[in-house]
Amino acid sequence: METGDHKDCLGVIMPVRDALDVINGKWKLPIIIAISRGHKRFRDIERNIPKITSKVLSKELKDLEAHKLIKRSVFDSQPVSVEYTLTPYADTLNPVIDALFVWGTQHRKTIFGSSEPQG
C-alpha cells in the first residue's frame, strides 16, 4: 500500500471532515460529555460547562438534535421540564471522545510542565 511518498489524502481528509462537521466548535463535545454524565436538564448542563451561555447552549442543543446525537423530551409537568438524553448514535462517538481525552490530558501536562500555564 505505502509505495510512495504522496499518499491518498482526500480519502482520509473527507471522512475526518465529515466528523469534524458534526462535532464542530468548542461546545458540542462538552455538551455530549455533560449529558453522558447524567446532566439532562438545560440549566444543569449549562452549569457544568464552564463559560457557556444559554443562547449558545440552546443553539448547540438544536444542532446536536438535528444530527441525531441527542433527544429532547418534553415532560408536561408543573412547570414544563425538558430532558436531553444521548441517542445510541452518540455513544458511537465514545472512541473519539476518549482519544481526545487522552491526548488533551497529555497535552495539558506538556504545556503546563514545560514553561507556562495557559488559562
Partner DNA sequence: CTGGATCCGCTTAGATACTG
Partner DNA sequence: CAGTATCTAAGCGGATCCAG
Query: Which among 97, 83, 87 has a CA at the least distance from the CA of 39?
Result: 83
Binding span for DNA by CB under 7 A among 10-18, 29-37, 77-85, 105-113 = 77-85
With 0-12 / 13-18 / 19 or more C-beta atoms within 10 angstroms meaning exposed / middle / buried, residue 100 is middle
State yes or no: residue 96 binds its own copies (CB under 8 A): yes
Out of DNA, its own copies, none, what residue 80 binds, judged by CB under 5 to 8 A for its kind, is: DNA
- Distance (Å, whole) CA 76 – CA 32: 24
CB of 5 to DNA, least distance (A): 16
Choices 7-15, 40-48, 98-106, 108-116 (CB under 7 A): range interacting with DNA = 40-48
Q: How many Cβ atoms sit within 10 Å of the Cβ of residue 25? A: 13
CA distance 93 to 87: 11
Residue 14 interaction partner, one of DNA, its own copies, none, beta carbon < 5-8 Å per kind: its own copies
Query: What number of H helices and E strands is found in the chain?
Result: 6, 2
Q: Measured at the alpha carbon of residue 62, what is the angle toward residues 58 and 48, in degrees to the nearest 5?
A: 45
Which of 58, 92, 105, 106 touches DNA (CB under 7 A)? 58
Binding piece for DNA, criterion CB under 7 A, among 9-17, 21-29, 90-98, 100-108 = 21-29
For binding to DNA (CB under 7 A), which residues are involved? 25-27, 41-44, 51-56, 58-59, 61, 72, 79-84
